[in-house]
Amino acid sequence: MADKLTRILYVEDEPDIQTVARLALETLGGFTVEICSSGNEALSRAPVFQPQLILLDVMMPGMDGPTTLKMLRALPQFADTPVVFITAKVQAGEVADYKEISAVDVIPKPFDPMTLSNQVQAIWERCHG
Amino acid sequence: MGNWQRLFDRRNRFAWGVLLAYLLLALVAWYGLRMQTMKNAERQFEMHARDVTGSIEERLRQHEQILLGGEGLFAASESVDRAAWRTYIERLHLKKNYPGIQGVGFVKVIRPADLQAHIAAIRAEGFPDYTVHPPGERPLYTSVIYLEPFSGRNLAAFGYDMMSEATRAKAMRMAAESGKTTISGKVKLVQETHGKEQAGFLMYVPVYRKHQSPATLEEGWKVLQGFVYSPYRVDDLMAGILGDRIPMLDFVIFDGEGETDGARMFVSAGDPVAGKQIASPMMSSVRTIKAYGHTWTVRLHSRPEFEAGFQSPLNAVILALGGGIGVLLFVLVSFLISRREHAEEMAGRMTDDIRANKEKLRQSEARIHAIVDGADHLIITIDTEGVIQLFNRAAERYLGYRAEEVMGKFTMLLFHDGEEILRRAQELAAAGVPVGPDFEVLTARAREDAGGDTHEWTYIRKDGSRFPVSLTVTALRNGGGKINAFLGIATDITERVKIERMKSEFISTVSHELRTPLTSIRGALALIAGGVAGELPAAVKPLVEIAHKNSERLILLVNDILDMEKIEAGRMEFNASPVKLMPLLKHALEVNHAYAEQYQVSYELESELSGAMISVDANRMMQVLDNLLSNAAKYSPAGGKVLVAVERIDQRIRVVVKDNGPGISDEFKERIFHKFAQADSSDTRRKGGTGLGLFITKAIVEQMGGSIGFDSQPNVQTVFYVEFPEWVERKPPEISHCVDGSTHRVLVCEDSRDIATVLRMMLEQAGYVVDIAYDVDQAKQLLAQGGYAAMTLDLALPAQSGISLIRELRGHEETANLPIVVVSAKASEGRQELNGEEFRVIDWIDKPVNQERLLSVLNGIVGISGRARPLVLHVEDDPDVFHVMHQVASEVADVVQAANLAEARQMLAQCRYDLVILDLDLPDGSGKELLPLLKGASPPIPVLVFSVHEIGLEDAKEVDAALVKSRTDNEQLLAAIKRLIGVE
């Protein structure tokens, strides 16, 4: 499964951050990025887009990140897909909680768009190294 | 003063009684003695008196004898001439034999007719002046014709007619008429011619003509020849009688029967001058001497010499002594009485005090009771065995148990969450306080810390509901400082936890809310500045960079402020665990590399300590290293080098970061760790940063048990260092490593998850592999898979009882011999139920479980069944190498690891290994150091050296095999192991 990472789904409700992230991941990282603004949207688009890795915000209106993750895990094709939270909620206990529900890593906000791609790539490699 | 008053106090009457009685006794004794003395004195006095009068009478009789002798002379001779008389008298030696006698003479009776012839005759004898005097006509004349010694005073009496004087005449007549000796009354002797005049008297013995004894008075006179006589000077006579004797008495002799002055004849020397008697003699008596027709009255007085004998000081002594002893006794008795009273008083006071103290104590107890019961905190005390001794009302109210339900019966674990206890036990073990998962978890820290140990727990009510508490446990010590109980005060922190959660959520939200726009701003600016959106016009580029840089600063500021808030609220979370320092440090260097490059600074790792471990929160430690490294780079001159070193100082690990920047001025040194501290405010703008970095770093370091410090020589070198206690694995005590349970699988059949977890932990600590069955069905399933060395069994299981499971298991061939250890609160009842049935139950252990007992039983079982596989000790510090070794060797043996020499020695001391595999490069020395120990064992333990280095020829002789890591494949390794442990 040492596939090259190309397809990333990013779930984030904040349009500005969507823009920055898309630039960072597509322009700098060369990934194909699908952006969803809510958990529900992610659940409906993911099976279509078939991401190799999913980036999830935690605090979102409606369905929050952890719930979205649990729902995704319920879909057989996403049972093992690496999910990384990108969030400002990074207190020690919170990070542990994310990992408890099978997140592979946490990227704290504010992230550095210049290095975001490298971070994601590193996580991918760790998962499939 | 009170002392004197006390003497006269009514209570002292006994003492007075004693004094009085004693004085009376002394008086009686004194009186008796005195009476006795007086009687003696009287007797003595009488004796002396008799002696005096007797002596006088005796002397008179002697003198009479002389006179009678003279009379005899006349009777015997025709005529007695002067010479014959002289001879007679001289023969008597008067002076010597009869002191006091004035002389002895003869008085011739002369009828007037014969007077002239007589005178003539005498004159003829050669006394021409002789005459009878006094002159005068008298009917009858007498004359002293002889008087010897014829000299001195006596010459005056020659020729004296004594009949001329009435007193003498009376005595003479009486003598002449009676024919008996007479003495005269008091007279003045004619001899008193000179000197002191003495009283005198005379003694007469009549001398009749030869052979003629007068029959009648008239006839007497007719035949009377004369008188032999003696004149006496009384003083001289008495002096002769009394001699030199020390006079005991004084006496006065009176002539006749009266005691008139005129009649006084003699006074013994009371007062030699006045002749006066002693003024008040002790004794006095009167005696009479009736002799020779005359009476003398003698009055006698005791003299001081006599009295002295009877005025013995004894009387006074007795009186004084008696009185003295009485007084002493009085004082003594008074003292004793006073002492007794004092003692009684004191006893009374003490009794009062005790009563008062008891009352105080009772009040104090009542107060404490009221406080304890009135408190809204759960107050619980436990003894050193963990058993609850006190359980206050709040505890009853909060937990739903009644005090009598739990006191003396349960430990505090009754309402603790078993999982929490286990977790805490692990935490404590990681922090170097090895403790089993029992009540000691609650008290371990309190034992060491006088201030008590505060920790948060979840309490479970009797109805199963839960609530959070903050529990402070304090050790209670007896007078000797020995712990005899623990006091636990728990506070319901439901509210606090709720508020904390809200606060935490608030901070989290704020943080999120701030970071979200920052993410966009910083992201957008970074992309623009990075040229992602195309080349910027020259005038715009610096402006964008300013915005970008400041957005970065804003992020740091938000992060630091959030950290500071957490530190100040004491809510910064730390997940301390033992971590290897070097990988962490290297990672920090890597991460900061890019940052340092901005300042054209590089890092250089000067020295390292591979294998050094510290117990910290890895993320927070990263933050600390990050801060030190970025600070050093930031303040280094361009092109400078930041040196990093790791040192071991005693048992502490120190990370040192050195730069040669401008350094820290003296005034700044004091506030360098303060909030918002920077050397000057321009620094913030010039160098970036929030001024919170070192404040946060110091707080983090200290909270993780470390310390931070620095040393700065401006523009030469500035050194910052942090140090932490080195983490060294401490093994829980009394757990044998000999029984390596890696092949011993134990099934724990227990429905309570908490207890099952506790049992699992106990067994895993000892190296057993543990499976848990929560009910009988699970147990049967697991047992069916086989491979269990033993099973622990609870009797009270949900669907089927433990006892029936035992019966069932014994019925199956595979499980008929499975060792079973019953671990149950009803162990003893179960034992009775199974009584008589020959089922193999190894032991019955009551709950709460005694870890030592359980392990010793299980270790025993393993011992009984025999160690099936050889045991190999691998002395190796690299966990990866051990991992490989374990995988390779476990095909034929059980492999256990010792990470250093010390550990290896300890393990070797505890049991015997079939093979020791040695790495040569160990953190605390070379593996070769173990060789003497291994080869000295009996029998010697086979040694396989497995190291990166070739072993020297010399050493090769000592070992059984040597393999070099890089040149050995797994097959070779396994073959060598097999050969050494004798397995094919």
DSSP SS3 for B142: strand
Report in angstroms the alpha-carbon separations of B356 from B301, B350, B359, B363, B950: 80, 9, 5, 10, 86
High-pLDDT (> 90) share of chain B, %: 11
Q: Does B530 touch chain A (CB under 8 A)?
A: yes
Under the banding of pLDDT at 50, 70 and 90, the label for residue B735 is very low
Residue among B508, B515, B532 minimizing CB distance to A27: B532
Tokens 């004369």 found at = B226
Residue (of B107, B172, B177) closest to B143 by Cα position: B107
Identify the residue with better confidence: B60 or B566: B60
| For residue B481, pLDDT beyond 90 | no
CA distance A38 to chain B (A): 16
What CATH code is assigned to B871-981?
A: 3.40.50.2300
Residue A1 lies in a domain: no
What does the radius of gyration of chain B's CA atoms come to, in whole angstroms? 71
Average pLDDT over residues B912-934: 84
Bigger pLDDT: B741 or B608? B608
Distances (CA, A) of B71 to B50, B104, B147, B207: 30, 11, 14, 6
Provide the chain A residues 60-89 that lie in CB contact (below 8 A) with chain B: 87-89
Check whether A49 has a pLDDT greater than 90: yes
pLDDT, tens only, B526-544: 888 888 878 888 888 888 8
| Residue to substitute from A23, A97, A116, A118, interface B, most B β-carbons within 10 A | A23
Q: Residue A28 belongs to what domain range?
A: 7-128
B512 touches chain A (CB under 8 A): yes
Across the interface, whether the CB atoms of A113 and B514 are under 8 A apart is answered no
User: In A, which residues are within 8 Å of B532 by CB distance?
Assistant: 23-24, 27-28, 113
- Give contacts of B574 with chain A, Cβ < 8 Å: 92
Residues in chain B: 984
Any B CB within 8 A of A29 CB: no
User: Would B741-865 and B871-981 be classified into the same CATH topology?
Assistant: yes
CB B711 within 8 A of CB B581: no
Nearest to B771 by CA among B791, B794, B751, B799: B791
For B805-829, what is the mean pLDDT?
A: 78
**Domain-embedded: residue A21:** yes
pLDDT mean over A73-84: 92
Identify the CATH assignment for B741-865 out of 3.40.50.2300, 3.30.70.60, 3.40.50.80, 1.10.760.10. Answer: 3.40.50.2300
Q: Is the pLDDT of residue B90 over 80?
A: yes
pLDDT of residue B679: 58
Residue B288 and residue B295 in contact, taking contact as beta carbons nearer than 8 Å: yes
* % of residues, chain B, pLDDT over 70: 90
* Tokens coding B45: 């006095």
Residues 6+ apart with CB under 8 A from B690: B553, B556, B557, B560, B561, B676, B684
**Is the pLDDT at B874 greater than 50, yes or no?**
yes
Nearest Cα residue to B733 out of B927, B598, B609, B910: B910
**What's the structural domain count of chain A?**
1
pLDDT tens digit sequence for B386-402 = 899 999 999 999 999 99
Band (pLDDT 50/70/90 cuts) for residue B840 is low
Least confident of A71-85, B267-281, B574-588, B958-972: B267-281
pLDDT over threshold 70, residue B685: no
pLDDT at B866: 44
**Residue in B523, B555, B619 nearest the CB of A20:** B523
pLDDT of residue B277: 52
Say whether pLDDT at A129 is over 50. yes
Query: Does the ipTM surpass 0.85?
Result: no
> Quick check: is A2 in a domain?
no
User: Mean pLDDT across chain B, nearest whole number?
Assistant: 82
Q: What is d(CA A20, CA A3) in angstroms, rounded to the nearest whole number?
A: 26
pLDDT given for residue B273 in this prediction: 40
Instruction: For residue A65, name the pLDDT band (cuts at 50, 70, 90).
Output: very high
Asked if A24 and B516 come within 8 Å (Cβ–Cβ), the reply is no
Cα separation, B959 vs B931, whole angstroms: 8
pLDDT category at A50 given cuts 50, 70, 90 is very high
- The closest of B170, B179, B180 to B215, measured between CA atoms, is B179
Runs of H (alpha helix) within B677-742: 681-687, 693-703
Q: What average pLDDT does this structure show over B105-127?
A: 88
Residue spans of alpha helices (H) in B733-867: 753-765, 776-785, 802-811, 827-833, 851-865
Closest CA to B659 of B677, B676, B643, B683: B643
Is the minimum CB–CB distance between B555 and chain A shorter than 8 Å? yes
Q: Which of B508, B510, B512, B519 to mutate to test the interface with A (most CBs of A within 10 A)?
A: B519
pLDDT for residue B243:
73
My answer on whether omega of the bond before A61 falls inside 30° of 0, hence cis, is no
User: What confidence tier does B733 reach under pLDDT thresholds 50, 70, 90?
Assistant: very low
**Residues B277-292: pLDDT tens digits?**
556 777 888 888 888 8
Question: Does position A83 have pLDDT exceeding 90, yes or no?
Answer: yes
Contact A114 B530 (CB under 8 A): yes
End-to-end CA distance of chain B: 109
Please count the residue pairs, one from chain A and one from chain B, whose beta carbons lie less than 8 angstroms apart.
78
Mean pLDDT, rounded, for B629-638:
90
Per-residue pLDDT for B682 more than 70? no
Q: For B306-310, B425-429, B655-659, which range has the lowest pLDDT when averaged over its residues?
A: B306-310
Dist CA B762 CA B854 (whole Å):
9
When pLDDT is averaged across residues B961-965 and rounded to a whole number, the result is 81
Place of tokens 């971590």: B579
Q: Specify the pLDDT at position B675.
A: 79
pLDDT band at B487 (very low <50, low <70, confident <90, very high): very high
Q: Which residues of A touch B518 (CB under 8 A)?
A: 109-110
Place B740 in a pLDDT band, splitting at 50, 70 and 90: very low
Superfamily covering domain B375-492: PAS domain (3.30.450.20)
**Cβ atoms within 10 Å of B117's Cβ, excluding its own:** 10
Q: What are phi and psi of B659, to 5 degrees?
A: -130, 170
For B978, residues 6+ apart whose C-beta sits below 8 A from its C-beta are B892, B984
CATH topology assigned to domain B59-243: Beta-Lactamase (3.30.450)
Kindly report the CATH number that applies to the domain delimited by B577-725: 3.30.565.10
Higher pLDDT, B571 or A64: A64
Burial grade of B92 (CB within 10 A; 0-12, 13-18, 19 or more): middle
Closest of B301, B271, B274 to residue B287, by C-alpha? B301
**Cβ pair B519:A87 closer than 8 A:** no
Query: Is pLDDT larger for residue B236 or for residue B742?
Result: B236
- The domain limits of chain B are 59-243, 375-492, 499-568, 577-725, 741-865, 871-981
Residue B388 has φ and ψ, to the nearest 5°, of -65, 130
List pLDDT tens digits, range B822-835.
Answer: 887 777 677 667 66
pLDDT band for position B984 (cuts 50, 70, 90)? low
Flag whether pLDDT at B125 surpasses 80.
Answer: yes
CATH of the domain at A117: 3.40.50.2300
Q: Tell me if chain A has a CB within 8 Å of the CB of B516.
A: yes
Residue B361 has pLDDT above 80, yes or no: yes
pLDDT above 80 for B839: no
Predicted confidence band of residue B852 (pLDDT cuts 50, 70, 90): confident
Q: CA torsion, points B11, B14, B20, B25, in degrees to nearest 10?
A: -170
List the beta strands (DSSP E) in B478-570: 483-492
Please compute the mean of the pLDDT values over residues B53-68 and round it to a whole number.
86
Banded pLDDT at B741 (limits 50, 70, 90): very low
Cβ count within 10 A of residue B506: 10
A59–B512: do the CB atoms touch at under 8 Å? yes
Report whether pLDDT(B695) > 50.
yes
DSSP class of A26: I
